[in-house]
Structure 1
Amino acid sequence: MKRRTALAGVLALTAATALAGCSSSGEPDLKIVGAYLPQPVSDMAAGFLVVQNTGDAGDRLTSVTSPLSDDVTIHETKNQKMRKVSSFDVPAGGELDLERGGNHIMFMKLKQKPQQGEKVSVELHFEKAGLITVDLPVKETTHNPKKQ
């Protein structure tokens, strides 16, 4: 009887340790910083932000939605050419930088033109982290924090 009780205790301890290991690692931990949208001059706009991942696992930005437009896509820029992509990787312990002249969020057929000082709400859809809502402050048309 004592042997069975000891064995049950060892199995329970092993299971608890395995479960604790699963819950404390292997997860992305995402934070959005530096978000903004330059005031648009046409019926299109671009959004920029940085996704920081301090977690143990990578994630993937799969789409973006916003009340500003029914046509919001994510674009990469390579060799000065823009193209729509289906996702962006967010590496573990790294970041995804959506910036002027590079990868970005594209808003087509704007429902209205937001003005400087307003905020545009966007929903970032991630493969693992799920939905993260962020407000993009509307800045002057020429705003570029990397060149300040």
Structure 2
Amino acid sequence: MTRRTTLTALTTVVALAGAMALGGCSSDSGPARPELKVDGAFMPQPVGDMAGGFLTVTNTGGAADKLTSVTSPLSDDVQIHETKNQKMRQVKSFEIPANGELKLERGGSHIMFMAIKKQPKQGEKVRIELHFERSEPITVDLPVEAATHNPSKH
């Protein structure tokens, strides 16, 4: 084998190896990401200076995420709460599992608006922004329902 033939064979092998490596990369869909969607959102009409918010965040992606905070023009102090053993407490975040959901519902985990700035009435909407650990924020308009509204009872 001449030096030129050896060099040509080596170049061909390197080129094929590179093409195979690139081909493998191009079929890779990249790292798994959360894919979030919000539905079932509502706020019962408040009867005092606090209000609750409820919704479901569905994650159809292959990676988990966390709801880390909620902001709203209705209150400068919007908290996320969990209810355990009939006691409510503020938490720093809620897990949203990959291919799963986070349900914020009456009697359970929920959004809490402290010291609301105005009393929204049934039929109005309250704008909120959900903030996540990995995903971009999602803006949601919560329809204000009757104070006794509870879709899980229907």
Query: Counterpart amino acid of 1:66?
Result: S
Q: What SS does structure 1 have at the residue aligned with 2:116?
A: coil
RMSD: 1.6
In structure 1, the gaps of 5 or more residues are none
Query: Counterpart amino acid of 1:29?
Result: E
Query: Counterpart amino acid of 2:10?
Result: R
- Aligned mate of 2:21, from 10, 14, 34: 14
Alignment partners' CA distance in 1, 2:151 and 2:135: 27
Alignment partners' CA distance in 2, 1:60 and 1:106: 17
Aligned match of 2:54: 48
Larger Cα Rg: Structure 1 or Structure 2? 2
In structure 2, the gaps of 5 or more residues are 1-7
What are the equivalent positions in structure 2 for 1:108-127 lying under 5 Å apart?
A: 108-127=114-133
Task: State whether structure 2 residue 109 is matched by structure 1 residue 76.
Answer: no
Q: What SS does structure 2 have at the residue aligned with 1:111?
A: coil
Q: What SS does structure 2 have at the residue aligned with 1:21?
A: coil
What are the equivalent positions in structure 2 for 1:1-148 lying under 5 Å apart?
A: 1=8, 3-15=10-22, 17-18=24-25, 20-23=27-30, 25-148=31-154
Stretch deviating more after TM superposition (73-82 or 127-136): 127-136
Percent identity over the alignment is: 60
- Alignment: residue pair count: 147
TM-score by length of 1: 0.92
Cα offsets for 1:107-130 (capped at 9, x unmatched): 001111111111111110011112
Relative distance call for 1:108 and 1:11 in structure 2 (3 A) is same
Alignment partners' CA distance in 1, 2:54 and 2:32: 27
Q: CA offset at residue 18 of structure 1?
A: 3.1
Alignment partners' CA distance in 2, 1:85 and 1:60: 12
Query: Counterpart amino acid of 1:67?
Result: P
Query: Counterpart amino acid of 1:124?
Result: L
Alignment partners' CA distance in 2, 1:12 and 1:111: 62
